[in-house]
Amino acid sequence: MDLNDPARSADLRARFELLQQAAQRENCPGWSLRAERLRALQALVTANRRRFGQAIAQDFGQRPQAETDLAEVFPSLQSIRHALKHGKGWMRRRRVGTPLWFRPARSWLQPQPLGIVGIVAPWNYPLYLSVAPLASAFVAGNRAMLKLSEHAPAFAECFAEAAAKQFAPEVLTVITGGPQTAAEFCALPFDHLLFTGSTQTGRHVMRAAADNLLPVTLELGGKSPALLAPDARLDHAVARIMTGKLLNAGQTCVAPDYVLLPRGTEAQFISLARDWVAKHYPKLDANPDYSHIINDRQYQRLAEGLAAAQATGAVLHPLSEARPDAARRLMPPMIVTEAQGPLAEAEIFGPILPLIAYDRLRDAVRHIQERPRPLAFYPFTDSAETRDLLLSSVVAGGVTVNDTLLHVASGALPFGGVGASGMGAYHGQAGFDRLSHLMPVMAQARGNAAGLLAPPYRARFRTLIGWMMRF
């Protein structure tokens, strides 16, 4: 609940200062304490799995528990388990070489916690996109302050209540509230701020952080393309693209936003997509496995995008017999050809899939290269040569070849954007490193020759510096 000024600001500041004082008392917790916090996070997820799923379903109007288990609970637990398995090793000093002229000194990198990590979670996967950053923060030895989205209020209330029972407020504090609370949250002097959300909001977050010279990790979005090379297996590509697109009704930052495919294959793609939807979402208007759109504003945005496209000559290809239902925020899946307007220019974030035909593979590559760098890229090809060509030609935050979404769920791979789709990466060791300071250390040996380079700069110095310049 948003507090009224100045009470809201005072409450945020008091919670932050409690974390700050605790971090100052215990600057670098050992592995046992970090592991204890990770296990507490694990217990939070497992004990409240169904409560969280019910709250998320309430926010969306309809989202199946199975989808929450698959896309939120499972990857959340995976990220915690990966941290528990590898975190102690990540904490160790990392030896680095020492140049000849500094020997016998020794050099290493010593990971240190940053202190307090601020995390801003979005509404589309509110559990996973809270827990995964928390796992990175805790394994790195930090404390955390988490701001949950006001667009998923039932989940926010449920998670905040459960977290308060599981964690002391000087380890984790959870903030709820609206846009003004979020703005004041991002203005706090954290040691690092991790934001997941839209590119537009990310710009505001970065401006707020700049006043504190606050380092940020921005996980944004954009138009992530799927590209079918001429040799792609069309039936396989359609199945994997539709799976990735219709998870959470397309409300996924790494969902395939549009498809580039060889000209002449559009009709077959649409036919295969209809068959796939009929098989996996029969009687879609009453199907309990199909998620609904989060709120009226997002539903209206999608409806207006379809109307604008149709008004400018686009052709709409419904993939089921279900009709859009604004009252229930049910948006059936739709393929669009010859798309114009918002569907062609902005991230769709819904179950609408434009198809763009190309004549030559280099034309498809150029289409991607001429636009902001995407958060994800999904090339489909059985040719290693074509795969390597596409991977060397397209810069994207992450890639899954011959499938969609999977790279995000792997605890061993960093997750992050590039350019307009974000900056910085986390998950696994990348998350540990991102939320640590890898402090460079050089330890001088008792017996050393450093004094030979001190003034006065006479013949001995000139001889030594001459040797040094040559090596």
The catalytic site residues sit at 219, 253
- Taking residue 465's Cβ as centre, other Cβ atoms within 10 Å add up to 12
Give the DSSP letter of residue 387: H
Residue 283's alpha-carbon distances to 122, 236, 316, in angstroms, are 30, 23, 20
Q: Which residues of 255-266 are buried (b: 16+ CB within 10 A; e: fewer)?
A: bbbbbbbbeebb
- Taking residue 164's Cβ as centre, other Cβ atoms within 10 Å add up to 13
- Taking residue 19's Cβ as centre, other Cβ atoms within 10 Å add up to 24
Query: What beta strand segments (E) does 74-141 contain?
Result: 94-96, 106-113, 116-120
How many residues are there in the chain?
Answer: 471
**DSSP H/E element including 393:** helix 384-393
For 353, phi then psi, to 5°, come to -130, 105
- Taking residue 215's Cβ as centre, other Cβ atoms within 10 Å add up to 16
Q: Enumerate residues 6+ apart whose C-beta is below 8 A from 384.
A: none
Burial of 55 from C-beta contacts in 10 A (0-12 / 13-18 / 19+): buried
CA distance 435 to 358: 42
Residue 263's alpha-carbon distances to 225, 236, 366, 382, in angstroms, are 16, 18, 16, 19
Q: Which two tokens stand for residue 442?
A: 């050089």
Q: Would the CA dihedral through 429, 420, 296, 332 be positive or negative?
A: negative
